[in-house]
Amino acid sequence: MGVEEQQSGLENPPEAGILPEAVVKTLDSGYQDAHAERRASATAASTSSNAPSAFAANGTGVLYPPSERGHIRDSWKHLMRWSRAWRTAGENGTSVMGRLEKVVVFGGGSFGTAMACALARQKSDLNVTLLLRDPYVCKGINEQHVNTRYLKEYVLPSNVVATTSSLEAIQGAQYAIHAVPVQHSRAFLKGIADVLPPDVPIISVSKGLEMGTGKMMSEVIPSALGRRQPAAFLSGPSFAKEIMDLRPTGVVAASKDKKLAREMQCLFASPYLRVNITTDVTGVEICGALKNVLALAAGIVEGLDLGNNAMAALVAQGCAEIRWLAEKMGANSATVSGLSGLGDIMLTCYGSLSRNRSVGVRLGKGEALADILASSSQVAEGVATAGVVVSLARTYRVSLPVLTAVAQVLDGALSPKEAVYEIMNLPQIEES
């Protein structure tokens, strides 16, 4: 695949040490339960004179011809053999989680809190420390196990703690998860540079481009710290609330150091969190940034009530624009069509929990941007990123009509309706 994004390659099971042992055992238990349920369903189906197969009996599918059913089952058996080999490799390997004692999380917003909980659930004696600014929020986490500002409806694991002291938070940590919004990351990282050891990997979950410089987090981190630091980037279609609810989620861990990417896979992979890996850091980061701008456009179309046809056309055009710029910047096209690209685009453009989409909806309904931002405690990174994207497009000589139109709307140069009219009246072109 070029960039080694681990998806479904059946020929080569991953090397040992991919999954923590506890996760492997949980998966085995889940597989046994699933197989028992399937066998019971098949047995019930076989006793019914009106149901010649389990497909027809349980109402979950159609009755395929025997040859097609054979192909389906053979393909599934092949997939399950590969899966068992993969899980055995993880069980026999050395667990990164087994050696882990402490992780620090920079930032206690929704996603930082969700990541802290995801790790804390993996190992009950793991110290997961949130570094926050607000002592009141720290008190709520430490005494009541509740983040009183974000995701307040959830009780956090008891091994999630919080502090306002950077020294206390970072001391002894083996990994640092960076969940500070991009526009505040440089100042934050400069403030902890003297406390953070140079060998502690930073795992950034912040998505966006820095205003004024156009830099991605992979560039901001070493620039702000004044040195090179091991770094990985976690991205993909992942709402914090659904991670907290243990709903199945897939993300991508990106690092130029494949060993570090695999460590991220070991840390976060669970029965409800799937982690692919890639070395295409640029692709993962630029997709994670630009999808927020496209989500603003999708929200505007929704707010204007322009219909499903318009939404599909807009998102398809936006996907093409993201691919054009990403490839010009050196990204792999497979990344754009994968979890951290198309997957994240779909979630952010269509998901009801998307902050950027929600801002776009309100813009489409006629609200002023200043009023929208003032009424929200959540950061919509697409607002800051839109102007940076236009600058990047000029640098790389790429035409991005939809993403540029979003920047025009945010800047007050066009109304949402005018932007749609102008986009629809661009020259008719050949599909590319």
Token pair 């709307």 is found at: 409
Q: Which residues contact 105 (CB under 8 A, 6 or more apart)?
A: 112, 115, 116, 128, 129, 130, 131, 176, 177, 179
* Choice among 291, 328, 365, 417 that is catalytic: 291
Beta bridge partners of 178: 106, 204
> Measured between alpha carbons, how far is residue 276 from residues 171, 175, 234, 335 in Å?
29, 19, 10, 11
Which secondary structure element, helix H or strand E, spans residue 88, and what is its range? helix 66-92
Give the tokens for residue 298. Answer: 């999708």
Alpha helices in 153-280 (DSSP H): 166-170, 182-192, 217-225, 240-244, 258-268
For residues 73-112, one letter each, b for 16 or more C-beta atoms within 10 angstroms of the residue's C-beta and e for the rest, the string is eeeeeeeeebeeebbebbbebebbbeebeebbbbbbbbbb
In angstroms, rounded to a whole number, what is the distance separating the alpha carbons of residues 199 and 146?
31
**Exposed, middle or buried by CB within 10 Å (0-12, 13-18, 19+), for 351?**
middle
Residue 351 DSSP code: -
In angstroms, rounded to a whole number, what is the distance separating the alpha carbons of residues 108 and 116?
9
In angstroms, rounded to a whole number, what is the distance separating the alpha carbons of residues 104 and 371?
35
Which secondary structure element, helix H or strand E, spans residue 178, and what is its range? strand 175-178
273-278 and 127-131 beta bridge pairing = unpaired
365 counts as catalytic: no
Q: Which residues contact 409 (CB under 8 A, 6 or more apart)?
A: 300, 363, 415, 416, 419
Write out the catalytic residue numbers.
291
